[in-house]
């Protein structure tokens, strides 16, 4: 699905349709990205932008996870899509369900007026079981994620929710896109948090 992007994501747009007045789009209208102009963006570039959203989450003390949802625009010409941005906000809200994936799906459903969201979801980390269930329920057509989550990943690391016979919708899953950068981002966040919990070193006894 060809799409274009001019500037990196802005925090004020998280979880919302990107408005062309904010210069996030080239040639778009009403939050629509057009494939007819500008530079075509591939999976790696969308993931890099999702990683930038995760950076914003980390600066707010949130686990760094970012998500971008592209939904084909039913009213526009072929190749146009709406773009929804989200970052992890579980601590900020506070809300145990406020993962980046969930917020992107909610914003899309509210804006489009349907729970059948569809589209392609980019997320920096393998979704958990809650998010995997929501992705299936929202009829997302394609999931692209960055690094695996060996502790809670539901796309094959711990459980494969997308491959389960209980799933009533098939999602095409592609993992490992910009995996090294996404994993390094998470490692750095948790290393810094462990350092804060330990506090400064005590006085030397020598």
Pairing of strands 172-174, 142-147: parallel
Which of the residues are catalytic? 101
pLDDT, one tens digit per residue, over 146-200 is: 999 999 999 999 999 999 999 999 999 999 999 999 999 999 999 998 887 765 5
- Among positive and negative, which fits the CA dihedral 101, 45, 152, 162? positive
Higher confidence at residue 147 or residue 13?
147
Pairing of strands 81-87, 32-33: antiparallel
Distance (Å, whole) CA 195 – CA 123: 27
Distance (Å, whole) CA 121 – CA 133: 14
For 35-44, 70-79, 128-137, which range has the lowest pLDDT when averaged over its residues? 35-44
pLDDT for 25: 30
pLDDT for 77: 54
Question: Which residue's structure tokens are 């020598």?
Answer: 206
Residue 70, classed as helix, strand or coil, is strand
pLDDT, one tens digit per residue, over 16-50 is: 443 322 223 322 333 444 443 444 568 999 999 99
pLDDT for 196: 75
């Amino acid at each position: 699905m060809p799409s274009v992007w001019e500037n990196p994501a802005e925090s004020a747009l998280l979880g919302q349709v990107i408005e062309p007045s904010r210069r996030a789009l080239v040639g778009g209208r009403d939050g629509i990205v057009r494939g007819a102009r500008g530079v075509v963006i591939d999976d790696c570039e969308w993931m890099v932008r999702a990683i930038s959203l995760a950076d914003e989450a980390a600066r707010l003390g949130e686990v760094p996870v970012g998500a971008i949802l592209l939904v084909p625009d039913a009213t526009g010409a072929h190749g146009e899509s709406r773009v929804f941005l989200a970052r992890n906000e579980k601590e900020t809200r506070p809300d145990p369900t406020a993962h980046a994936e969930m917020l992107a799906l909610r914003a899309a459903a509210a804006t489009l007026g349907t729970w059948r969201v569809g589209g392609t979801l980019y997320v920096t980390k393998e979704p958990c079981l809650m998010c995997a269930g929501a992705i299936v329920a929202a009829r997302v057509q394609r999931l692209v994620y960055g690094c695996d989550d060996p502790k809670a990943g539901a796309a094959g690391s711990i459980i494969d929710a997308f491959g389960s016979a209980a799933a009533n919708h098939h999602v095409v899953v592609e993992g490992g896109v910009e995996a090294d950068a996404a994993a390094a981002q998470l490692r750095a966040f948790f290393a810094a948090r462990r350092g804060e919990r330990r506090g400064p070193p005590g006085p030397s006894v020598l």
